[in-house]
Amino acid sequence: MGWISPFKLNRLGMLNMNRRNVDYISRYNNRASYPLVDNKLKTKLVVAEYDVPTPKLLQVVRHQHEISGFRSMAEGINGFAVKPAKGSGGKGITVISGRDGEQFVKASGARVPLSYLERHLSNILAGLYSLAGSPDVAIVEELVNSIPGLARYSFQGVPDIRIVVFQGYPVMAMLRLATRASDGKANLHQGAIGVGLNITNGRGLNAVQFNRPITVHPDLGLALENIAIDDWDQMLSMAARCYEATGLGYMGVDLVVDAVRGPLLLELNARPGLAIQMANGCGLLPRLKTIESLRRPHFTPDERVKFVKDAFGNGQRAA
């Protein structure tokens, strides 16, 4: 994998945080749409109307007295994920991957009793993980089992794909791989790996951890240079349709590839981070400006995907 220094990235149109906030988030994101993406339950409901599948919803816990129903729901299920509806950055998400007698097995391999999960649900409802500490809702989803070809590159966690979508056009993408440092979560700030993806075909470009280039997974010893994402066109189309679903002009779309159901939407982010540029080895600005300069009728999601594949066919800068 090639590598471009931060100095060269600036010359190639690196988008900084201030410009992102002022020129793109504030300008293109209607604040009235924020509740649709800041609440995972609302996200699931709205994107379903636009043929964007999400992990199956098993239970919604809105009140403390409903926690007692969690026991019976979990009785016959080996794997599931408990999430705060208003959480961000992966905080408050507990993934159960199996059972060991009366114990629940977390993705890390740790065993926890039912009482642990019931306390976790109670903490979610109290707003421990919500954006403003406000009362929250807990959702329980079916466990996502990543396809083996991707799962082998991620340490004790499901790898996901972040696609930045601008005005309905998928403009940049990366694969996020969990590590021991990130505690099995695909969070770059905690130490997950970001693998830049060619927006036209889903093939790996560069890989970074803590914004430093790497070529091998630090925990698994696997080379990262030959990674390719299956069902890529489908994922681009799903990401594009999230624009119609939310009306947000600038957002991050987080997807996973389930072994049975294929691509699924995990969540949307109205304030996507900028490390995706380091992973791709190029800046976002040339692509954003290309989209802004278009004089176009209302393109369909698939037409927008086709434009992106034609315009950014070299996988790097705008044509």
* Chain segment 252-290, per-residue pLDDT in tens: 999 999 999 999 999 999 999 999 999 998 899 999 999
pTM for the model? 0.92
The per-residue pLDDT for 45 is 94
In three-state secondary structure terms, 177 is: strand
* Distance of alpha carbon 128 from alpha carbon 157, whole angstroms: 23
Sheet holding 193-197, edge to edge: 212-213, 204-209, 193-197, 169-177, 160-166, 250-258, 262-269
The per-residue pLDDT for 280 is 93
Amino acid at 271: R
Distance of CA 62 to the CA centre of its chain: 24
Distance of CA 172 to the CA centre of its chain: 13
The domain ranges of the chain are 6-54+147-311, 57-142
The per-residue pLDDT for 92 is 92
Q: At 162, list the tokens.
A: 């972040």
Alpha helices in the chain (DSSP H): 6-11, 17-19, 26-28, 34-38, 40-48, 68-74, 114-125, 148-151, 232-246, 276-280, 285-292, 301-311
pLDDT tens track for 42-56: 999 999 999 999 999
Closest by CA position to 243, among listed 253, 255, 235, 234:
253
The per-residue pLDDT for 78 is 84
6-54+147-311: CATH topology is D-amino Acid Aminotransferase; Chain A, domain 1 (3.30.470)
The per-residue pLDDT for 8 is 63
Q: How many CA atoms lie within 13 A of 297 on its CB side?
A: 2
Per-residue model confidence as pLDDT tens for the chain (319 residues): 455 555 665 677 999 999 999 999 999 999 999 999 999 999 999 999 999 999 999 999 999 999 999 988 888 788 999 999 998 877 899 999 999 999 999 887 899 999 999 999 999 999 999 977 899 999 999 999 999 999 999 998 899 999 999 999 999 999 999 999 988 888 888 899 999 999 999 999 999 999 899 999 999 999 998 899 999 999 999 999 999 999 999 999 999 999 999 999 999 999 999 999 999 988 999 999 999 999 776 799 999 999 999 999 765 443 3
Non-local CB neighbours of 221 within 8 Å, separated by 6+ positions: none
Q: What is the dihedral of CA 268, 145, 130, 124, to 10 degrees?
A: 150
The per-residue pLDDT for 185 is 81
Closest by CA position to 234, among listed 256, 206, 267:
256
